[in-house]
Structure 1
Amino acid sequence: MRPSGEWPARMVQRVSSTRAFARLAPHVVPALDRTVHRLTRGRVLLSARLLPGAILTATGARSGLPRRTPLACLPDGDGGWLLIGSNFGRPGHPAWTGNLLKHPEAEMNWRGRDIPVRARLLTGAERARAWRAAVARWPPYAAYQARVAREIRLFRLERR
């Protein structure tokens, strides 16, 4: 028998690996996360019940305006974070990844605190290690990558 909490997580992982979820989630999950985050003054992100979550504020690549995006993240041991640009397994890169490529100075709202960060796109062996860690923590990332021709972007965010 599985411990309580394990089977719901596996069920959510199966559902989140589907194409139907990839079509619906980008419209529902971020809007819901933004609303709950705002109402709780940064204390709660619903999606963080499955994966650690934060709000990234980055400068728009084209607009130059601040863009707030709720994201799943993986905290690293050095006080930074790994961000995975999976876009729920949809073909294009998520807009926030382009924003970070053009403007790597950003801010993470982590557990209600705003933290200045600098983003760095991972490549080579460092990316491969980070990818293995991401898939170990959330297996649907592998399904997302299998569905798209692009290489999913991974960023390391370090405190400034």
Structure 2
Amino acid sequence: MPVRIILLRAVNVGGGGKLPMADLRAIATDLGATDVRTYIASGNLVADVPSDPDAFDRSLEQAVEQRFGFFRDVISRSPEQVRDALDAHPFEIVEPKFSYVSFLAGVPTPAALEKARTHETHDDRWDVIGSEMHIRYADGAGRPQMKSDQIGRALGVPGTARNLNTVRKLIELAT
């Protein structure tokens, strides 16, 4: 079974999408995953999944919705893909908690990228490499100068962001 780093979008943020990590581990196990681990309470899961990771992701989305009554996108990558995304980060890393990788559900179209680039970013920076959006906030994610949610919507594919500290820890847990 392949090892996957599984990321749920918008879990336990802003008072919504409350999903206890023990329940998430139990759901993943019920779906056939083994060696299931979570990291912090924001929807980060590392597990060995049955042979088709995409089918597992869709099943996890459905199971979470059935059990908790809300839909959350599930986006997963192999540890190698996550490491490659980290290595490809195009911006100087001044503070790892100010730099993010947003793992996208697909590759944005050229037209969507062009539309997204019309949004003002001030000193914040972003770029898309493949199916990842890389972000560097000048003053941290708590005080963003750009509207990353608007950029994300313009890209036309759902994504979920993790700071580089979290990305590194997930790689460590998966290897």
Range into which the TM-score falls when normalised by the shorter chain? under 0.3
Q: TM-score, normalised by structure 2?
A: 0.26
